[in-house]
Amino acid sequence: MLQSTRDHGLDVPLVSIGVPVHNGARFLERALVSLRAQDYPAIEIIISDNASSDETHAICARHAGEDARIRLIRQTENRGPHANFEAVCLEARGRYFMWAADDDFWLPTFVSRLVAELEAHSEAGAAMCATRRVREDGTPLDEIRFLGRDDLARMGALRRGLAVLTPRKYNLFIYAVYRAEFVRKGLPYFPRVLGGDRIFVLQFALTAPLRYVDEILYLRTHRPAHEASYLAQFKSLRVRFGQFRALCAMIYRSAIIPGRAKLALPILALAYALFLVRKEAFQVKTELISMLRGVHRRRWEGAAVALAGLFATAGYLADAAGGVSGRLTASPLFIWTVLGILGAIVGLVLVKLDAYRRFWLRNVGDIAGRQREVEARYENFERFAKFATDLLLAPPPSRSDVNLEGWAYGQNNQNTVRKQVYFARSLEVSRIRELYLKEIFPDIEAVSLPIGAVNEVSGHANKADMLYVCAIAKLRGAKRIFEFGTYQGRTTYHLALASEQTQVTTLDLPPDPKWAYSKYNGIYFRGTPVERRVTQLFQDSRTLDTRPLANSFDFVFVDADHSYDSVKNDTQKAFELLCPGGIIMWHDYAPKSAGLVQFFKEFTQQRPLFRVKGTCLLLHIDGVDPMTFEPHPMLPSLELEHKATDPFQIEQIYHH
């Protein structure tokens, strides 16, 4: 039965997310975290563990225990990928449904953006977005978009069907958001063959329009091992025949494909046959070129290998033709020979033309490509130089019974550098954009604050951080501010100076003699005129119920416990407290805070952040994408000129 969330006070339809998984522990954690982080208020996540033998079930069980929206199904035996794919769909209760692969991840707006597209276009059966493919280490590979003539929403049913049966990556629509009823009706005809996803998408393309949103909200992991396995299985004639037969059977039997679309079966069958032939031809060509490259120094041997390969290919084609060759002549050997000679001539011409093409691209055409390659090598060298230099600062200490103090000093120095190197590496793979404060807030220099915002006795080498935090709050005219972590209340006091109407709520642990800082809690603002505008909460933030305060603060500052779990908890609640258009800031993003650094390394993969250059501050501005934000110009200076002309200049890592 389809459900909505009206009985929970939200007038939005329920979205079911199906996650079929088998031995997917390597990437599953990342996938589930990104699905749970969806900003759409009404989702259920159905996980079907197909009798995994690794840590998959433990990961799923932990997430199910933490989130009531997750339902976990444990298959007692491996039912195969297709049955597992169907299992999550059959358990779905939502009005909308989507499949989610265990090794991919999604931006927080994926579901909400695509549901909105379907709600706005009632005639559409599914909606999909642009895709960024990433390597297994998370680095970008390429982007897949369907613009202009490639947009399925602009096509009629037959043209959509023919488009899906081309090498374009329309098979990615298998991971679109669908109308659940639409999927259930088509599910009995899911092709249980290699590459069945493209055929399954064809069924929907022939039935209803498919919408496309040109925003990258889905990140798909490219797995070379999976691709190699697919290509190895595709070589089998039995597999290709099975794919062709599955397509014809699905079109003929499907109860949701309109009758007029079924009349196009011969055209679609021919299109799919051509698609398979093109795929085979590309594979043969790749293998031949690989052979020629391997023996290019022995010209005659190379020619012999090429001819042998082409004769074998011609023989395969003649054998596949079967009775056709028998009717042409009484001698199949004659047909094989003629086809072999013609194939050899055509094949060698194609190889030669491809060599000219590659020569042109390598030496003339792909100037931009060569420049990108040089830049990539340059960046890799620069990164290596940074890490090598850092490590050389602290060589491994050798313990000496005579000089234990020197050994301890060396060991401590090495641990310090390790933290710095880990921080630098984490920053480079995080989606954190570093800009100067004035590049983000062009009017910030006009803001004045008491010098007391700077704590002179702080252990921070850079003492301007709190001045920046309070200046941003004042620039934005923040009226309601929430602070995680009070301590003396110095920052609390200066945040309250943002305006005369500003109210600050500050949270810290209850006073306890075992905490050395307890006796100093709030002493900076106590007894001052701003104390009446400060509300102190003494509570562990993990037990804080944000519902009475939800979406009511225009500025949130997080500077409490820096362990991974605490930062994760405080960040989640900061977003719950934040009102539209508000700002969240975090302090102590630095080598000393390993847990905090690790959390933001993961968190920013879905939600990028700003980092204010030269500080420990991270920044989120609601409604602003840091990766596409256009920085405001800085006043020209010798320092900026030097940074622009000296790319090996390393910014000082200010504290650890």
Angle value at C-alpha 287, between 132 and 243, nearest 5 degrees: 65
Question: What is the rounded distance in angstroms from the CA atom of residue 29 to the CA atom of residue 652?
Answer: 34
Provide the pLDDT for residue 103: 92
In sequence order, what are the residues at sequence separation of 6 or more whose Cβ sits closer than 8 angstroms to the Cβ of residue 121? Answer: 127, 209, 211
Question: What is the rounded distance in angstroms from the CA atom of residue 151 to the CA atom of residue 208?
Answer: 14
**Which of 304-318, 384-398, 559-573 ranks highest by mean pLDDT?**
559-573
Least confident of 206-215, 221-230, 375-384, 497-506: 375-384
Provide the pLDDT for residue 459: 61
Fold of 6-225: Spore Coat Polysaccharide Biosynthesis Protein SpsA; Chain A (3.90.550)
Residue 489 has pLDDT above 50, yes or no: yes
Residue 514 has pLDDT above 80, yes or no: no
> Residue 465 in contact with residue 637, Cβ under 8 Å?
no
- Counting Cα atoms < 13 Å in the Cβ hemisphere of 138 gives 16
Which pLDDT tens digit goes with each residue over 116-152? 999 999 999 999 999 999 988 888 888 999 988 889 9
Question: What is the rounded distance in angstroms from the CA atom of residue 31 to the CA atom of residue 248?
Answer: 35
- Name the amino acid, one letter, at 498: A
Mean pLDDT of 636-647: 67
Buried b / exposed e across 355-382, counting CB within 10 Å, b at 16+?
eeeeeeeeeeeeeeeeeeeeeeeeeeee
Show the tokens assigned to 525: 């603002």
Provide the pLDDT for residue 323: 41
Which pLDDT tens digit goes with each residue over 536-588? 999 999 999 999 999 999 999 999 999 999 999 999 999 999 999 999 999 99
Helix (H, G, I), strand (E, B) or coil at 44: strand
Provide the pLDDT for residue 111: 96
User: Pairing relation of β-strands 43-49 and 140-144?
Assistant: unpaired
Place of tokens 């091992």: 225
Which pLDDT tens digit goes with each residue over 196-214? 888 899 999 999 999 999 9
**Which residues on neighbouring strands pair with residue 94, listed in sequence order?**
3
Provide the pLDDT for residue 140: 85
Residue 523 has pLDDT above 80, yes or no: yes
SS3 string, 313-325, reads HHHHHHHHHCHHH
Q: Which of 193, 223, 593, 300 is nearest to 427 (CA)?
A: 593
Greater confidence (428 vs 100) lies with 100
Q: What is the dihedral of CA 492, 494, 498, 503, to 10 degrees?
A: 30
Greater confidence (91 vs 648) lies with 91
Reported as a pLDDT band with limits 50, 70 and 90, residue 519 is confident
Provide the pLDDT for residue 427: 81
Cα 64 to chain centroid, rounded: 22
Give the burial class of 51: count Cβ atoms within 10 A of its Cβ; 0-12 exposed, 13-18 middle, 19 or more buried: middle
Provide the pLDDT for residue 268: 82
Whole-angstrom Cα Rg for the chain: 31
Provide the pLDDT for residue 354: 61
Average pLDDT, the chain: 80
Mean pLDDT of 508-531: 86
Q: What are phi and psi of 56, to 5 degrees?
A: -55, -50
Mean pLDDT of 604-614: 93
Reported as a pLDDT band with limits 50, 70 and 90, residue 353 is low
Which pLDDT tens digit goes with each residue over 452-476? 888 777 666 667 899 999 999 999 9
Provide the pLDDT for residue 362: 55
Which pLDDT tens digit goes with each residue over 34-58? 999 999 999 999 999 999 999 999 9
For the chain, the domains span 6-225, 295-365, 368-419, 432-645
- Counting Cα atoms < 13 Å in the Cβ hemisphere of 370 gives 8
In sequence order, what are the residues at sequence separation of 6 or more whose Cβ sits closer than 8 angstroms to the Cβ of residue 473? Answer: 481, 495, 498, 502, 555, 557, 583
The pTM (predicted TM-score) of the whole model is 0.47
Q: Which of 9, 7, 70 is nearest to 38 (CA)?
A: 70
How distant, in Å, are the alpha carbons of 94, 138, 530, 557 from that of 565? Answer: 32, 23, 33, 17
Give the rounded percent of residues in the chain with a pLDDT score beyond 90: 48
Residue 482 has pLDDT above 80, yes or no: yes
Mean pLDDT of 606-619: 93
Least confident of 258-267, 363-372, 586-595: 363-372
In sequence order, what are the residues at sequence separation of 6 or more whose Cβ sits closer than 8 angstroms to the Cβ of residue 273? Answer: 244
Give the rounded percent of residues in the chain with a pLDDT score beyond 70: 74
Mean pLDDT of 285-302: 46
How distant, in Å, are the alpha carbons of 482, 583, 621 from that of 552? Answer: 9, 12, 15
Which pLDDT tens digit goes with each residue over 495-511? 999 999 999 999 999 88
Question: What is the rounded distance in angstroms from the CA atom of residue 505 to the CA atom of residue 533?
Answer: 9
Provide the pLDDT for residue 296: 42
Reported as a pLDDT band with limits 50, 70 and 90, residue 624 is very high
CATH superfamily of domain region 432-645: Vaccinia Virus protein VP39 (3.40.50.150)
Question: What is the rounded distance in angstroms from the CA atom of residue 580 to the CA atom of residue 501?
Answer: 19
Provide the pLDDT for residue 189: 87
Show the tokens assigned to 594: 């390993």
Reported as a pLDDT band with limits 50, 70 and 90, residue 1 is very low
Place of tokens 């679309």: 261
How distant, in Å, are the alpha carbons of 94, 304, 439, 471, 579 from that of 475? Answer: 44, 76, 14, 6, 17
